[in-house]
């Protein structure tokens, strides 16, 4: 009789412990699904938006995808240390404002830049603008990516320096050089996967 009571007590404790673990697992799943869902999104989840924006702006979708990989690792709710927002890490006062003015389409708040389609659209337009500016140069992609990261005036200065043939060697900021190299490597990986 005494052993049955002890056995029953332990069985109740095991059921309660199992129930508590189940509740914790459900709460953790709800937390992750609300705040960190982008962590579980694959790089392919934005391919349609990337392809559409790239086609509209006449750039290679794989280059845009590599840029997004480097900027945000495909996390739509990503926020940079200097106020960059979303997949392509757009800043409201620079690329966002330029795009808004060019297309006469107001962006009412920076929260709109977390919208993946809008963010990709603005990032593609901004990259395309830089690609057009440097289209006559052999390393057009590298120069456009450097401009995306460090700005037009810096790329213009670096390009005017006669320190070598390779544009990457002219980039004075190692973070920008690393940024461009990482994107170009990922771009090559995506291109090889396509073939």
Q: Read out DSSP for 68-131? A: HHHHHTT-TT-B-TTS-BTTTTB-IIIIIHHHHHHTT-----GGGGGSHHHHHHHHHHHHHHHH
Residue of 145, 152, 155, 143 lying closest to 186 (CA atoms): 145
CA–CA dist 72, 67 (Å, integer):
9
Entry field: residues in the chain: 195
- Could you give the CA distance from residue 167 to residue 146 in angstroms, rounded to a whole number? 10
**Residue 4 half-sphere exposure, CB side, CA atoms within 13 Å?**
1
Q: Angle at which helices 116-133 and 61-72 pack, to 10 degrees?
A: 120
pTM of the model: 0.78
Give tens-digit pLDDT for 171-194: 999 999 999 999 999 999 999 987
pLDDT cut 70: percent of the chain above it: 86
Whole-number percent of the chain with pLDDT over 90: 70
Distance CA 147, CA 129 (A): 10
What are 3's two structure tokens? 């052993």
- The burial of 134, by beta-carbon neighbours within 10 Å (0-12 exposed, 13-18 middle, 19 or more buried), is given as buried
- Looking at residue 18, what is its pLDDT? 77
- Read off the pLDDT of residues 126-139 as tens digits, 9 standing for 90 and up: 999 999 999 999 99
Residue pair 80/113 in contact (Cβ under 8 Å)? The answer is: no
* CATH architecture group of domain 41-194: Orthogonal Bundle (1.10)
The torsion angle over the Cα atoms of residues 42, 44, 45 and 50, rounded to 10 degrees, is 140
Instruction: Determine contact, residues 128/58, Cβ cutoff 8 Å.
Output: yes
Surface-to-core class of residue 107, CB atoms within 10 Å of its CB (0-12 exposed, 13-18 middle, 19+ buried): middle
Q: Which residues of the chain have pLDDT under 70?
A: 1-10, 12, 29-42, 162-164
């Amino acid at each position: 009789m005494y052993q049955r009571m002890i056995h029953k007590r332990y069985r109740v404790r095991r059921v309660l412990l199992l129930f508590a673990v189940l509740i914790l697992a459900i709460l953790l799943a709800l937390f992750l699904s609300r705040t960190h869902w982008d962590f579980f999104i694959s790089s392919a989840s934005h391919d349609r938006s990337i392809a559409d924006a790239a086609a509209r702006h006449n750039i290679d979708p794989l280059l845009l995808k590599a840029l997004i990989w480097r900027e945000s690792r495909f996390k739509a709710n990503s926020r940079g240390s200097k106020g960059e927002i979303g997949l392509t890490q757009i800043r409201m006062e620079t690329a966002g404002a330029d795009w808004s003015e060019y297309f006469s389409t107001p962006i009412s708040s920076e929260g709109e830049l977390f919208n993946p389609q809008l963010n990709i659209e603005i990032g593609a337009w901004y990259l395309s603008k830089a690609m057009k500016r440097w289209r006559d140069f052999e390393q057009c992609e590298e120069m456009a990516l450097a401009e995306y990261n460090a700005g037009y005036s810096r790329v213009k200065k670096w390009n005017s320096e006669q320190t070598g043939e390779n544009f990457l060697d002219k980039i004075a900021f190692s973070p920008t050089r690393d940024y461009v190299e990482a994107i170009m490597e990922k771009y090559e990986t995506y291109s090889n996967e396509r073939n």
